[in-house]
Amino acid sequence: MDDSFLPIVRTVAALRGHLAPWRERRQTIALVPTMGALHEGHMSLIRLARAQADRVVATVFVNPKQFGAGEDFDHYPRDEAADARQLLAEHCDLMYAPAPEEMYPPGFSTAINVSGVSEGLCGAARPHHFGGVATVVAKLLIQAGPDVAIFGEKDYQQLMVIRRLVRDLDLHVEILGAPIARAPDGLALSSRNAYLSAEQRQIAGRLNAVLKEAAAALGRGAQVAGVEADATEALLSAGFASVDYVEARGAADLARLGPGPVDRPTRLLAAAFVGKTRLIDNVAVG
């Protein structure tokens, strides 16, 4: 690849045509799906992908099917030129940036629903979100046919949905979860952080701190129900406008836990609003 130029393809045919010579040379391919507005968190995914495969493809597609009515699809940050510069700097080999009409041509009528792991948590507040995620990810995996695909653990429920999707549909791809990239104060890096004012940004930094304190309490044997309630109150006291959830779930399958002490590997997950911006985060317990 010319190290001063990042190839960009916009159709399935062009994508497959670009990948074909790599496959002929038996080179492995890693896929990093994104919605653009790239930041250091995304670049950490690209670096992990480079360590896993000979070639790296990043997708940039703001998927309309995973936004509900009144959500921020129209205002979601988009800057393809900046995205391309960052990907080039990290030695990404190809950007796939299809238009909505390429992904969902006229008459498109197929939807994928992954039950179980998609229920509750973000699935309760955004009932159509994970159906849209599952549909677009299935299409991207089929279109590119990568050996491995990388997803960040910040969207932990999404990662579980994708792993279940791949298992259930026997897709021949390895799904890797990448550690959450964070700001110095612990805030998980997110494209939506750009919505925060300076004051809101200070409040947002408390989200991870509260979760870490709650996870430590669970690790010491505290009751799940009490820790969830205390963490919710701590977020509201810190200035969050509202809290969608703070829940401890089984790390392997997002199964609900009993009200007592944790009895299995656990993930503590939260979603809360700072102003109109919805932030999510999660931490491992123990």
| Integer Cα distance of 268 and 251 in angstroms | 9
| Integer Cα distance of 262 and 250 in angstroms | 9
Sheet with 174-178, strands from edge to edge, namely 8-9, 94-96, 55-60, 29-34, 148-152, 174-178
| Integer Cα distance of 20 and 256 in angstroms | 44
Q: Considering the candidates 18, 42, 91, 172, report the single residue annotated as catalytic.
A: 42
Spacing of C-alpha 82 from chain mean position: 20
> For residue 99, what are its two tokens?
């238009």
| Integer Cα distance of 84 and 7 in angstroms | 9
| Integer Cα distance of 32 and 45 in angstroms | 7
User: Per DSSP, which regions of 153-222 are E strands?
Assistant: 174-178
| Integer Cα distance of 84 and 86 in angstroms | 5
Residue 226: how many CA atoms within 13 Å on its side-chain side?
A: 8
- The radius of gyration of the chain's CA atoms, rounded to the nearest angstrom, is 19
In the residue annotation, 42 being an active-site residue is answered as yes
| Integer Cα distance of 216 and 212 in angstroms | 6
| Integer Cα distance of 199 and 246 in angstroms | 23
> For residue 168, what are its two tokens?
């259930």
Q: Is 152 exposed, middle or buried (0-12, 13-18, 19+ CB in 10 A)?
A: buried
The residues annotated with a catalytic role in the active site are 42
